[in-house]
Structure 1
Amino acid sequence: MKKFEDYFLAFNRWALILILAAMSVIIFTNVVLRYTTSQSIEWAEEVARHLMIWLTFIGCGPVLRYGGHIAIDNLQDSLHTRGAQLLRLLIALLITGFCLFSIWFGMQYMDRTQYQSTPATQISFAWIYMALPLGMAMTLIHWLLIVRSYIARREFASDAHFDATASASL
């Protein structure tokens, strides 16, 4: 299972790196062209927007995995150990339910938009909206890999590249 987790995390990170790099190159190239030649790439803004959508949903899982999302801890901090664990169990069930609902809803939304095309690139909107079910499925996998330690001890995964507690103390 650890090997799967390592490969899955590496795949997710590289997907994020490539999406961000592509978005940066497209925007930078378009800005340079606009100011040097008074011309711009017609599809640059649209593709960058769609890549941002993908970046958001694909990046949701690693942020959840490392505890980077905003959380209000006052209630569970005020409870005894068992009460806090029960509250975290409720939170875990809600997050799991939200991911499952988002996957289902995203698939429905893809089906509804499959015959609509984007204005500049003329690709199906279903390819853009695929980011929701795929990103939420990946988020669910990240969540299921860490949920036991979250419920028991409110621990998130740790990594030298991303430490939410270290960045919060800056």
Structure 2
Amino acid sequence: MSDRGMKAGAGLPSRAERWFVTANAAVVVALLAVMAVVVGWNVSLRFLTNNSLPWADEVARYTMIWMVFLGAGLALREGAHVALGSLQSALPPRMAWVLRVAVLALLLVFFLVMIGMGWDYMQRARFQMSAALRLKMSWVYAAMPVGFALLTVHLLLIAPRYLRAGFDTDPTETQP
């Protein structure tokens, strides 16, 4: 996203928000790279030596779990989650805005509930160890509260833009 025409209150992301999004995306890409290297290495070993790494499947599974939860906020920012936009576009502007407020409120409540549930799962799994890596499963389950906390931050950051226009417009355009 360019800095051209950036003004305070113009609806464009701040430098801190851009850094947050970039850091979030970099972590997701790094996890994807780890997963690709481990899976590629394991497939190569199976093909070349008829043996595999006993921990590779766990690493791939756990990195995928973390990627999903950490990447969900990035998808939310772009309106990439499943949505029913036809109802919003069929409503008069004021009613569409009310619907967007309701959607934001429901999402916020859901994300906060899921942070609590994720924290509970994480606490319950703190004594369980993974089979191959002997990793505390609480580290795996931590993806849920962390991911939903990130979703909450992303939601709050995009809320003004979403309330103005939904996801039907270019995020770099300013709305009256």
Could you state the TM-score of these two structures normalised by the residue count of structure 1?
0.89
From 19, 22, 27, the counterpart of 2:31: 19
Distance change in 2, residues 1:19/1:78 (3 Å): same
Cα distance in structure 1, aligned partners of 2:85 and 2:25: 28
Identity among equivalent positions (%) equals 36
8 Å Cα contact 1:103/1:137 also seen in 2: yes
Cα distance in structure 2, aligned partners of 1:5 and 1:128: 27
Measure how far apart 1:158 and its partner are: 3.8
Are positions 1:86 and 2:86 aligned together? Answer: no
Distance change in 2, residues 1:94/1:117 (3 Å): same
Are positions 1:99 and 2:111 aligned together? Answer: yes
Measure how far apart 1:148 and its partner are: 1.3
Q: Which residue does 2:82 correspond to in 1?
A: 70
Cα distance in structure 1, aligned partners of 2:165 and 2:45: 53
Query: How many pairs align?
Result: 159
Distance change in 2, residues 1:157/1:122 (3 Å): farther
Return the letter of the residue paired with 1:114: R
Cα distance in structure 2, aligned partners of 1:51 and 1:42: 16
Measure how far apart 1:157 and its partner are: 7.0
Gap regions ≥5 residues in structure 1: 160-170
8 Å Cα contact 1:85/1:152 also seen in 2: yes
Q: CA RMSD in A?
A: 1.4
8 Å Cα contact 1:66/1:157 also seen in 2: no
Q: Which residue does 1:146 correspond to in 2?
A: 158
Q: 4+ runs of 1 displaced by more than 4 Å?
A: none
Secondary structure in 2 aligned to 1:142? Answer: helix
Gap regions ≥5 residues in structure 2: 1-12
8 Å Cα contact 1:61/1:138 also seen in 2: yes
Measure how far apart 1:74 and its partner are: 1.9
From 119, 123, 145, the counterpart of 2:135: 123
8 Å Cα contact 1:19/1:51 also seen in 2: yes
Distance change in 2, residues 1:158/1:24 (3 Å): farther
